[in-house]
Amino acid sequence: MMPGRPPKREPDAKEIARIHSRVREKIGTKSLQPWQEACRAFAPFNYSRTTRKEWFKKNQDRVRIGREIVGFVDRMTAEIAEDEQFKGVRKSAIKKEVVKGIRKIQEKQGITVNRLNEVKVDSFRTLISWGEDPERLEQGRHLGRETLPQELRKKRERSKRGRKSAKGKYGPPVVHLAKDTEVSDGKVILTCAIENRYLHPYQNVVIQLDVGEGVSVHKVSPFRWNASKKSIHVGFVMAGLDVEPLETEFTIELSADRGKKHSISGTVFYDDTSLGDKGKAEIEKVTFST
Give the number of other Cβ atoms within 10 Å of residue 156's Cβ: 15
Residue 191 neighbours by CB under 8 Å, 6+ apart: 103, 178, 179, 180, 181, 182, 249, 251
Q: Can you give the pLDDT at residue 30?
A: 96
Q: Can you give the pLDDT at residue 167?
A: 46
Q: Can you give the pLDDT at residue 245?
A: 72
Reading the chain (290 residues) residue by residue, the pLDDT tens digits are: 345 667 888 899 999 999 999 999 999 999 999 999 999 888 888 776 788 999 999 999 999 999 999 999 999 999 999 999 998 999 988 998 999 999 999 989 998 878 898 888 989 999 999 999 999 898 877 777 888 766 655 455 555 544 554 444 557 889 988 877 777 666 888 888 898 887 777 888 999 999 888 889 998 888 889 988 999 999 888 876 665 677 888 889 898 888 788 889 999 999 865 555 678 899 998 888 77
Q: Can you give the pLDDT at residue 170?
A: 53
Q: Can you give the pLDDT at residue 121?
A: 92
131 — phi, psi (to 5°)?
Answer: -70, -35
Q: Can you give the pLDDT at residue 28?
A: 96
Nearest CA among 222, 237, 119 for reference residue 175:
237
Structural domains of the chain, with CATH: 13-148 (no CATH), 174-289 (2.60.40.1230)
